[in-house]
């Protein structure tokens, strides 16, 4: 294999690494983490700051009032993104939770409410 081909392959790997680092950095920023730089070690070290639910852990939610006084503690069994899009009838008993999403069970809705 010639030196020129090796240099081209190395350049391609470096381009892919640069793309990865930028995406990794952007992901951390979207999670509310502010890395000092885009070095791989820095980004890896920042992963511990990302809030994520792990299946083998118990997490608690906190209800507070307008003065930030704790009013209730509860076990969080899952997280749903885009809370502004939750259905208005979500607590009527015919939605289930699956991998971070709220899913309508139409048959159950018909059975329970005849709607």
- Does any domain span residue 45? yes
pTM for this prediction: 0.50
- Does any domain span residue 54? no
Number of domains into which the chain is organized: 2
68 and 101 housed in the same domain = yes
The pLDDT confidence band at residue 49, using thresholds 50, 70 and 90, is: confident
Nearest to 54 by CA among 32, 75, 33, 78: 78
91 and 73 housed in the same domain = yes
Instruction: Look up the domain containing 69 and give its range.
Output: 59-113
Cα separation, 109 vs 94, whole angstroms: 5
63 and 42 housed in the same domain = no
pLDDT tens-digit profile of 88-104?
A: 898 898 998 877 778 89
- Does any domain span residue 97? yes
pLDDT tens-digit profile of 61-74?
A: 999 889 888 899 99
Cα separation, 2 vs 68, whole angstroms: 67
């Amino acid at each position: 294999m010639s030196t020129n081909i090796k240099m081209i392959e190395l350049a391609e790997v470096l381009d892919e690494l640069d793309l990865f680092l930028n995406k990794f950095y952007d992901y951390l920023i979207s999670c509310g983490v502010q890395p000092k730089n885009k070095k791989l070690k820095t980004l890896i070290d920042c992963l511990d700051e990302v809030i994520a639910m792990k299946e083998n852990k118990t997490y608690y939610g906190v209800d507070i009032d307008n003065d930030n006084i704790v009013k209730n503690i509860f076990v969080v069994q899952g997280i749903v993104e885009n809370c502004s899009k939750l259905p208005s009838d979500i607590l009527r008993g015919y939605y289930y939770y699956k991998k971070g999403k709220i899913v309508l069970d139409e048959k159950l809705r018909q059975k329970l409410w005849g709607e």
